[in-house]
Chains A and B, each alone.
Chain A
Amino acid sequence: MPNAESIRNFTIIAHIDHGKSTLADRILELTGTVSDRAMTEQVLDKMELERERGVTIKAKAIRIKYRGADEQDYVLNLIDTPGHVDFGYEVSRSLAAAEGALLIVDAAQGVEAQTVANAVLAEANNLKLIPVINKIDLPQADPERVQREIAETLGVTAEPFLVSAKTGEGVPELLEAIVREIPHPSEQSGMPLRALIFDSFYHVYRGVVVSIRVFEGRVEAGMQIRLMATGFEGEVAEVGTFRLDLEPAQSLSAGEVGYLIAGIKEVQQTKVGDTVTEVAKPATHPLPGYVQVKPMVFCGLFPVEGGEYDNLRQALERLRLNDPSFLFDPENSPALGFGFRCGFLGLFHLEILRERLEREYGLELVATAPTVAYQITTLSGEVLTLRNPSDMPPPAEVQKIEEPYIAATLILPASYVGPVMELCQDRRGELKDIQHLSPERVKLSYELPLSETLFDFFGQLKAKTRGYGSFDYEPSGFREADLVRLDILLAGQPIDAFSAVVPRAKAQQRGRQIVERLRTAIPRQLFDVPVQAAIGGRVIARETIKAKRKDVVAKCYGGDVSRKRKLLERQKAGKKRLKMIGQVEVPQEAFLALLRVEEPRKK
């Protein structure tokens, strides 16, 4: 058991692609934590999907043994953090588990939105920040400029460390800096146990493994523990630390980072940010900062073929095993049949899970357009949470509707400020602040409705800034809005799955856009199909999908038979991917078509 003075708990924070994982790999390599044989690229990324997108989704920790320049042995606990904006809360709890942070900034790209967001979070948790400028090996690296940006934007004036995680340059010096600059945890072993849960995952053989940072007291096998927020009580089966796998230990004391296993069956029973304490000698107050994480974005998921419902349900349950922030409930749609209403932390979370369902589980899915959760106050004063637009009560019964807002930070080159401000304004944004990070780069702060970021906001931002813009946000409460439910009818039948909640002022435009998109996205049927948008029964837009008249191959002679047959087989297989909605065959693409919203054309 190491003494607290030789422990350093630190994390690495950075904007996406600024080199966090590569630096972590390099540190592991240099300290001998990973032997070359075990070295796979970006060891800490475990899932295939994560590797592709280069973003870790699950927080992890790893214990590193390091012999310093002073010949002393140190224990460096590296706590990894999720990199994406959707997982802000989990990032903050990982930060709370540490005493210091390496703040990484790309030497060419400079400070970006998540650099700012993460730095702000780190400072809120009183972490010692060590600025690190990475990728100095690139020809376009400009460390001087970036150092200025760091100082001016973040107020971090310490001399940054210049490294290249790729080549390893500067990393040994960085390790020394971790030992010298980051404070060791304070000695608190005599107190009642308080340990912070910053992650948990489901291990096929071990059950739920909880990642903890012990702040006070000590935890060991045999102890009866209690999770203070969920109330779970159980006996600790094992504690230990993370090397590349679980390494059991006698106990974990104040200052240490590791895991415990205590007969917990589901990750839903462990909440990130919760406090572990001892039943026999409980702490009086939990550790600060615990927040009930709530899903922000919802959609309906339905199998294309009704018979796949059970497979979908099983797949969702498997996903939930390792993702406590993913929620789902059965849902029945008149148009799409039996499926599930799913809640995610954000759009990115939704996309990752949807892709996993399709790829890992081979499911053909229809997903309704994502929606946020609205709060509806009825005339009787009752407050309902609306997660499915088709559940919206008739206007006559509604006193007010409130929608979630976000405080958004956008960082972009100065020359694109005009178009981006137009974009935000068009999305009902309120400008709160403009700040120049440097003559070439600007930080915009906006308050805007979360729902306005669901439809191609990020894509538009990237397009208007030629890829250089970055975006981060945090929830900032609810605001009342004048919203209506837009209904879509196909062949005269209202299709609940296409319903959307839109601001009244935009309803006409949105209705016309959706109807036009559906007209091209839905293939011609054997009969005319009217497509209509309506509000409260009043049709505001209409298009018709004309009946198909010609679908025939003019020539079929001896040599054409095999080819013709393959063509027919392909056509037939293509139909299997279509969902029958009423009498109309609708492809998955039609649902996706609803996700794209065109910017209003200039007159």
Chain B
Amino acid sequence: MDLDQIGIYIHIPFCRAKCHYCDFDSFPLYQFAAEGAEVGLFNSYTKAVIGEIESASWRAGANGHPAVGSLYFGGGTPSLFPGSSVAAIIQACRDRFSFSPGAEVTLEANPESLSKRRLAGLKEVGVNRLSVGMQSLNDSELTLLGRRHSASQAVRVIKEAREAGFTNINIDLILGLPGQLPEAWHDTLERACQQSPDHLSCYALALEPETRLHDQIDEGLLEQISQDDQADLYSWTRQYLANQGYEQYEISNFSRPGLRSRHNLLYWFNGDYLGFGAGAHSHSQGRRWANLSHPGQYMAAIEEGRSPRAWRKSQSKADELAETCFLRLRLMEGLDLVCLEARFGTAFGDQYGEQIEELLAQGLLSLDPPRLETPTNGGGGPSGGERNSGGHQLRLTPRGVLLANHVFQVFV
């Protein structure tokens, strides 16, 4: 992972409706524009985002301005935006920052907002990775989730995306829905794999407060499946996808070799990224910040020449170290302790040694090679000479993956 590159994130906060499980920063379109008058809103928003990009002032790193390795349109529903708006934003980014060759440009999409024409348009303006919110291939589950497409629609969209020339397609799925029998999940995943996606994100359902699903469960209209049942579904999923030739590289993310999400890897390596748009988050040179969530407030701030920031935080070295640890451990390859020490200059063993020993003993972590020494005192074992990639890898065991929070607490 080249941490000398940065990522850019663009947030498109509008949706047609709120899905029943969603607690993201997303806003119903009708609150801002009547049907038919949406183009005006999109234009205003695009203008605001471009304004923010153009006036972005940020300090160069040690090597001058790093190049942009990935650009990601997230939301909300970015696929609601017309191709021209997407193009304008991409252009603004290219004008302001230098992009590395072959930079990844991802756009999140809902099946119902993708037509053949739109797909072609997106491909043309430079989107080279598509992330499709499929969630389930069971129509009654889709209704439960408040999705506005059908299973057959989703399947068709993947085909059409391939026909439009997309070679890097991700499918998002949710497992462990209320009342979901294992067979239903197995069926969804099998049929999703039949579409030969390049990448899958399989998320165990998390019930967030103030979502419709949460309320329905509170009222007894729906019944949650137990955490143990979710654990079973998840374990089955890992095994199944491995058998289908997908590599699990992160707790919820699986891909064909070489087709991992470059942008998301930046998050898990705790690299630098700049976020633009309402509610967008950034992490750069030891600082974190976020923009105002409400699109109206965001656009007003940009227009009036005010800062669109909702909050800022200066991170101490300890903060960065802690976050890097629990983010890196989300990756199956785990945490390279030598790299970590090089980056932060601390002796990992001194800081966390005791707790790590306990987690190793509890079988939640594994250490490779199994001695917590710094390489300078000859750690590495008899074949240390061959292991020249850095040395000590700390990673979650299969059981540890399921109990990751228990492990991650050590670092905060």
Chain A residues with a Cβ under 8 A of chain B: 526, 546, 548-559, 561-562, 564-565, 567-569, 571-572, 575
Assess whether B405 is in contact with A554, with CB atoms less than 8 Å apart: no
Given contacts A550-B234, A551-B406, A572-B409, contact A559 B281 (CB under 8 A): yes
Task: List residues of B whose CB falls within 8 A of some A CB.
Answer: 9, 25, 203-206, 227-228, 230-231, 234, 251-252, 264, 267-268, 273, 275, 279-283, 288, 290, 313, 322-323, 326-327, 330, 362, 401-406, 408-409, 411-412
Residues on A with beta carbons closer than 8 Å to the beta carbon of B406: 526, 551
The answer to whether A558 touches B275, judged by C-beta atoms less than 8 angstroms apart, is yes
Contacts A556-B267, A557-B264, A561-B327 hold; do A571 and B403 have CB atoms under 8 A apart?
no
Instruction: Known A561-B323, A561-B327; judge A552-B403 contact (CB<8 A).
Output: yes
Is the pair B279, A559 in contact by a Cβ cutoff of 8 Å? yes
Q: List chain A residues, Cβ under 8 A from B411.
A: 568
Chain B residues lying within 8 Å of A575, measured Cβ to Cβ, are 409
Nearest CB to that of A546 among chain B residues?
A: B228
Which of these, B264, B281, B403, contacts A549 with CB under 8 Å? B403
Contact A552–B313 (Cβ < 8 Å): no
26 contacts between A and B (CB under 8 A): A526-B362, A546-B228, A549-B402, A550-B204, A550-B402, A551-B402, A551-B404, A551-B405, A552-B402, A552-B405, A553-B405, A554-B252, A555-B203, A555-B252, A556-B330, A558-B283, A559-B290, A561-B267, A561-B323, A562-B281, A565-B323, A565-B326, A565-B412, A568-B412, A571-B409, A575-B409
Bound Cα distance from A466 to B404, whole angstroms: 48
Residues of B within 8 A of A526 (CB): 362, 403, 406
Task: Return chain B residues, CB-CB under 8 Å to A555.
Answer: 203, 206, 252
User: Complex formed: what's the CA distance from A324 to B234 in Å?
Assistant: 61
User: What residues of chain B lie closer than 8 Å to A562, measured between beta carbons?
Assistant: 281, 288, 313
Q: Could you tell me the distance between the alpha carbons of A565 and B290 in the complex, rounded to whole angstroms?
A: 16
* CB-defined contacts of A567 to chain B, threshold 8 Å: 405
- Please determine whether A554 and B203 come into contact, CB atoms closer than 8 angstroms: yes
Pair B252/A561 contact, Cβ less than 8 Å: no
Asked if residues A558 and B273 are in contact (CB atoms below 8 Å), the reply is yes
User: Contacting B412 at CB < 8 Å: which of A550, A552, A556, A572?
Assistant: A572
The reply to whether B227 and A549 contact each other, CB–CB distance below 8 Å, is yes
Q: Are B404 and A553 closer than 8 Å at their CB atoms?
A: yes
Give every chain A residue within 8 A of B283 (Cβ-Cβ). Answer: 558, 561
Let me know if A568 and B408 touch, CB within 8 A.
yes
In the complex, the chain A residue whose C-beta lies closest to that of B290 is: A559
Q: How far is the CB of B108 from chain A (nearest CB, A)?
A: 11
Q: Which 5 A-B pairs have the closest CB atoms?
A: A559-B281, A552-B404, A554-B203, A550-B231, A549-B231
Q: How far is the CA of A456 from the CA of B371 in the complex (A)?
A: 55
B228 touches A549 (CB 8 A): yes
Q: Are A548 and B403 interface neighbours, CB within 8 A?
A: yes
User: Which of A552, A557, A572 neighbours the largest number of chain B CB atoms within 10 Å of its CB?
Assistant: A552
Residues of A within 8 A of B327 (CB): 556, 561
B267 contacts A569, C-beta separation under 8 Å: no
Taking the nearest CB of chain A, how far is it from the CB of B185, in angstroms?
A: 14
A552: which of B25, B251, B282 is its contact (CB, 8 Å)?
B251
Q: How far is the CA of A557 from the CA of B362 in the complex (A)?
A: 28
Measured CB to CB, the nearest residue on chain A to B279 is A559
B281: chain A residues at CB < 8 Å are 558-559, 561-562
- Which of A550, A562, A572, A575 is packed against the most chain B CB atoms within 10 Å? A550
Q: How far is the CA of A572 from the CA of B25 in the complex (A)?
A: 27
> Nearest chain A CB to B383's CB is how many angstroms away?
33
On whether the beta carbons of A557 and B227 are closer than 8 Å, the reply is no
- Residues of A near B227 (CB, < 8 A) are 548-551
Query: Are B409's CB and A568's CB within 8 A?
Result: yes
- Inter-chain contacts of B323 with A (CB < 8 A): 561, 565
Chain A residues with CB under 8 A of B290: 559
Q: Is B230 in contact with A559, judged by CB distance below 8 angstroms?
A: no
Determine the distance from Cα of A552 to Cα of B250 in the docked complex, in whole angstroms.
12
Whole-angstrom distance between the alpha carbons of A40 and B401 in the complex? 60
Report how far A548 CA is from B406 CA in the complex, Å: 10
Q: Complex Cα distance A553/B401, Å?
A: 10
Q: Give 17 new A-B contacts, CB below 8 A, not counting A552-B251, A552-B402, A569-B412.
A: A526-B406, A550-B204, A550-B234, A550-B403, A551-B403, A552-B401, A554-B203, A556-B268, A558-B9, A559-B290, A561-B281, A561-B288, A565-B326, A568-B326, A568-B409, A572-B409, A575-B409
Q: A549-B227, A552-B404, A568-B408 are in contact. Are A559 and B280 (CB under 8 A)?
A: yes
Nearest A residue to B281 via CB reads A559
Instruction: Give chain A nearest CB distance to B368 CB in angstroms.
Output: 21
CA distance A327 to B365 in the complex (A): 50
A571 and B9 contact, CB distance less than 8 A:
no
Nearest-CB residue, chain A, relative to B174: A554
B342, chain A: closest CB distance, angstroms:
22
Query: Within the assembled complex, what's the spacing in Å between the Cα atoms of A301 and B203?
Result: 45
Contacts of A559 in B (CB 8 A): 25, 275, 279-281, 290
Residues of B contacting A558 in the complex (Cβ-Cβ under 8 angstroms): 9, 267, 273, 275, 281-283
